[in-house]
Homo-oligomer: A and B are copies of this chain.
Amino acid sequence: MFRTKTNGELRLSDVGASVTLAGWVQRTRKFGGMTFVDLRDRYGITQLVFNDEYDAALCEQANRLGREWVIQVEGKVSERSNKNPNIPTGDIEILVESLNVLNESMTPPFTIEDQSDGGDDLRMKYRYLDIRRNPVRRNLELRHKFAFEVRRYLDEKGFLEIETPILVNSTPEGARDFVVPSRMNPGQFYALPQSPQTLKQLCMVAGIDRYFQICKCFRDEDLRADRQPEFTQIDCEMSFVEQEDILQMFEGMSRHLFKSILNIDIPSLPRMTWADAMKYYGSDKPDTRFGMEFVELKNQQPDNASRELVDSLFPEGFGVFDSAAYIGAICCEGQAVLTRKQIDQLTEFVKRPQIGAKGLVYARVQEDGSVKSSVDKFYNAETLDALKQKMNAKAGDLILILSGDDAMKVRKQLCELRLEMGSRMGLRDKNKFSCLWVIDFPMYEWSDEEQRLMAMHHPFTSPKPEDIPLLDTDPASVRANAYDMVVNGVEVGGGSIRIHDAKLQQKIFEILGFTPEQAQLKFGFLMNAFKFGAPPHGGLAYGLDRFVSLFAGLDSIRDCIAFPKNNSGRDVMLDAPGYLDQSQLDELCLSVEQDK
């Protein structure tokens, strides 16, 4: 061992001890005849002292040290006169007796500090230096602990971690597969799994009873900030269970994670139906750290989210509202102070193409309780007062109203506005956590593109037993035994109870528009396995990267991944992907079509 102690462990009680330390030079400072070196490793920083009077040659050696050099020192632990209360080793320093340079270092391309001067691209190219920085390293430590606590909880509950293969076949999951040419089977390809969905269901057929796996999944999609071509999933499945069993089991896991990692006791997870989530938050992953729920001021377009017909609060007069199928509003507490300019910014915000609202109507509740609105000229004081009552608004509040032809579209716009207001009002604190289950998802959603009902989750998802009769009469209204876990407006996990009954599965395929032959072709493999005694089963999967990011308070999943890829799917550190030798292509019986 090149050290007897790490740089994070020495305390006042160690004063007088002889120690050997090793690590990286964080910085050196000269004060008169003294040279101070901050020595860093994963565990902390320890101050080294070299005294010119005591050993001039050694001090001279120390003066030549550069940033990020790797050194080993022997010395005595001594009490610091000038203590540093900000670090755990701040009470002591090492009076160095010998210094051994283990490796020199070129000057790193950015500073190895909590706040680095390196841009994103540079940090990714030299990720091995970026990881030396505390914030990045702490994320990786958190990720390790998170995964370990997941395993500890599931192991205690009798789950078996089963490794499923990475070289599999294409599965009907929707997204595009990464493929791997097989040299031994020329012209044929493996696919990398988008998820082990099929294999975990086979594990249930195999009698594994309780399965989990923390595993890599792969999707060849165009990337967004929070997507990576390879990502890590906590994949779980249980047999002989109903929805309630799954919710209980994994609510318990979340509670364990929050407690063991963040020392936070989270309350029992509320359950919100998908309909309520859409009606009151315009999202199937509502951020419930704050209220500001939607109020329907008019709804002439009842749907799965809100079956209630709501007559308009507004008498005829304002054409936009008159012709709208849906009018919804939020009440922003104390925001009547917003200036006209700030409200104009909000109007611009909702009119951005990504959101797509036509405009924004507002109403301020003034100190005297009267209401000033951007549509004052169309409505009298009674109407505006009715609005105030309906919105439960009080003096100083700001009411924001959106309307449109398509209730679901307006809800999504209002959702964005609500989140924006929540952020501006400081209601989305990263250190506060609000978890819930969203349940009772619809089985199907209508695809304008395909002009048919599509499975909202996947085609193996079981309908709610009480809704099965509706499969014949009104399939679009059938609810599924599907559920998502949502934390702070982020879907961290989701799953469903699966269909284990062949006849019911057949019916679901029919509704999705598959002929028996098509169903056999696409899903036959799993269906055949199910003929040998499939137990009732269900499960869910968490996105580990996202869940850890939430715990770490990160905006992107990238910084909790050791070696992430950029938005072009490149690993700029490894410089992957790259070109193959012709001989490799020949062995695989492949040629690249350069002209395409």
Contact = CB atoms under 8 A, between A and B. Distances in A.
Contacts of A563: 164-165, 199
A160 B144 contact: yes
Contacts of A561: 163
A168 B571 contact: yes
A230 B165 contact: yes
Interface string A249-275: 000000000000000000000000000
B592 A596 contact: no
Contact of A562 (B203, B242, B570): B203
Stoichiometry, as copies per complex, reads: 2
A40 B207 CA distance: 9
A179 B563 CA distance: 19
A147 B128 contact: no
A126 B532 CA distance: 10
A532 B132 CA distance: 11
Interface in A141-171: 141, 143-144, 147-148, 151, 155, 160-170
A81 interface: no
Contacts of A557: none
21 contacts: A2-B241, A40-B207, A41-B207, A42-B207, A69-B533, A72-B240, A128-B206, A129-B206, A130-B206, A144-B161, A148-B155, A163-B216, A164-B563, A169-B574, A169-B575, A169-B578, A170-B580, A182-B577, A185-B568, A185-B570, A189-B577
Nearest to A66: B533
A220 B186 CA distance: 13
A384 to B, nearest CB: 53
Contacts of A453: none
Interface string A164-206: 1111111000001111111111111111100000010011011
A137 interface: yes
A501 B161 CA distance: 40
Given A1-B245, A106-B532, A129-B532, A185 B569 contact: yes
A381 interface: no
Nearest to A244: B1
A563 to B, nearest CB: 5
A535 B570 CA distance: 28
Contacts of A15: none
A178 B167 contact: yes
A69 B534 CA distance: 9
A500 B102 contact: yes
A590 B589 contact: no
Interface in A553-589: 561-563, 565, 568-571, 573-580, 584, 586-589
Listed residue (A141, A199, A207, A241) with the most chain B CB atoms within 10 angstroms of its CB: A207
Interface string A96-107: 000000111110
B162 A144 contact: yes
Contact of A532 (B128, B162, B178, B569): B128
B592 A589 contact: yes
Interface of A: 1-3, 22, 24, 40-43, 68-70, 72, 102-106, 108, 126-132, 137, 140-141, 143-144, 147-148, 151, 155, 160-170, 176-192, 199, 202-203, 205-209, 216, 218, 220, 222, 229-230, 232, 240-242, 245, 500-501, 525, 529-536, 561-563, 565, 568-571, 573-580, 584, 586-594, 596
Given A141-B160, A577-B188, A593 B589 contact: yes
Nearest to A502: B103
Contact of A151 (B151, B207, B580, B590): B151
A587 B161 CA distance: 35
Nearest to A148: B155
Given A240-B3, A533-B69, A586-B596, A207 B562 contact: no
A42 B209 contact: yes
Given A160-B140, A500-B102, A589 B596 contact: yes
Contacts of A592: 186-187, 589-590
Nearest to A532: B105
A199 to B, nearest CB: 7
A70 B207 CA distance: 11
Contact of A571 (B104, B169, B187, B573): B169
A229 B167 contact: yes
Nearest to A188: B577
Contacts of A147: 161
Given A167-B565, A169-B571, A241-B2, A534 B70 contact: yes
A143 B42 CA distance: 31
Listed residue (A69, A130, A230, A563) with the most chain B CB atoms within 10 angstroms of its CB: A563
